[in-house]
A = this chain, B = another copy of it.
Amino acid sequence: MGPDEHPASLSQQLQRGNLMAAACPSRDVLKHVTSRWGVLVLMALETDTLRFSALRRAVGGVSERMLAQTLQWLEGDGLVERIAYDVVPPHVEYSLTPLGREAAEKVRVLADWIETSLPRIARAWEERQRD
C-alpha cells in the first residue's frame, strides 16, 4: 500500500534488488548484516575461525541468545559457515564464507570510518549541548 510501488518487474527486482522499495528482499539481508551484533560478528570472523564462546568474548557485551540468533541469520544468508563436531561437550566452529568475507570487508570499511571519525562526531555532540 506504499504510494510508490514501482513494479519494476519482479524478475528485475530479484536480480538486482532495489533497497529503496519497501518490499525488496535486500532489506532482510541489510537488516541482518547491519544488525546490532551482525556488524561485529562479521568483523570478528574476518580474520579468524572462532568457536562460539571465543566469539562471545571477542564481541563485547553480546548475550548468548543474541549471538546464536545473529549467527543463524548470517548462516541463513550464506555469509557464515557453521561446522559442528558431534562430541560432548559441543564443539562448534564459525567462519566466513567467500560471500561473507566480501560483506565483512564492506562493513569493516564503515566501522573503521566511524572509529577514526569519532573525534569529529564528538564535536557535533558537544555543539548540540550548547543549544
Contact = CB atoms under 8 A, between A and B. Distances in A.
B116 A16 contact: yes
Interface residues of A, number: 58
Contacts of A116: 16-17
Given A43-B19, A76-B128, A110-B106, A26 B115 contact: yes
Nearest to A62: B22
Instruction: Give the number of copies in the complex.
Output: 2
A14 B15 CA distance: 43
A77 interface: yes
B20 A30 contact: no
Interface in A75-125: 76-79, 99, 102-103, 106-107, 109-111, 113-125
